[in-house]
Amino acid sequence: MKKLVMILLSLLLLTACNLKTVEEDHLPIEGGSVSFAERLEDAKGTQVRFYGWGGSDSINGWLDTTVSNELKENYKVELIRIPMNPDQYLAKLMTEKSMGSEGTIDVVWINGENFYNAKTKGLLYGPFVEMIPNFTSYVKPTKDVTYDFGFPVEGYSAPYGRAQLVFIGDTAKTPEFPRNHIELLEFAKANKGKITYPEVTDFTGSAFVRNIIYDVVGHEIFIGMEADKEIVREAIMPAIEFLKEIKPYLWREGKTYPANIGQLVNMFADGEVLMTMSYTPLHAASKIAQGIYPETAQTFLFDYGTIANTHFLAIPFNAPNKNGAMALINSLMSPEMQASKLNPAVWGDQPVVHYDLLSEEQRKLFDNIEIGVGVLSSEVLSAHSLPEMRSNLVPLIEEIWREELLGE
**Which residues contact another protein by CB under 8 A?**
1, 5, 9, 12-13, 16-17, 19-20, 22, 49, 51, 53-57, 60-61, 64-65, 68, 82-85, 88-89, 92, 95-96, 99, 101, 104-105, 260-263, 265-266, 269-272, 290-294
Q: Which amino acid is at 229?
A: K
Q: Which is nearer to another protein, 46 or 362 (CB)?
A: 46
Q: How far is the CB of 60 from another protein (least distance, A)?
A: 7
Q: How far is the CB of 36 from another protein (least distance, A)?
A: 27
- Residue 347's nearest CA partner among 52, 144, 91, 145 is 52
Contact partners, residue 386, CB within 8 Å, separation at least 6: 211, 214, 219, 304, 305, 306, 307, 308
3-class secondary structure per residue, 270-283: CCCCCEEEECCCCH
394 close to 206: Cβ distance less than 8 angstroms: yes
Q: Which is nearer to another protein, 9 or 182 (CB)?
A: 9
Question: How far apart are the C-alpha atoms of 161 and 349, rounded to whole Å?
Answer: 6
User: Which helix or strand (DSSP H or E) is residue 82 part of?
Assistant: strand 78-83
Q: How far is the CB of 186 from another protein (least distance, A)?
A: 24
Q: Which is nearer to another protein, 175 or 271 (CB)?
A: 271
Q: Which is nearer to another protein, 72 or 121 (CB)?
A: 72
Question: How far apart are the C-alpha atoms of 372 and 10, rounded to whole Å?
Answer: 56
Q: How far is the CB of 203 from another protein (least distance, A)?
A: 11
Q: How far is the CB of 248 from another protein (least distance, A)?
A: 23
Q: Which is nearer to another protein, 218 or 271 (CB)?
A: 271
Q: Which is nearer to another protein, 104 or 362 (CB)?
A: 104
Q: How far is the CB of 294 from another protein (least distance, A)?
A: 7
DSSP 3-state assignment of 148?
Answer: strand
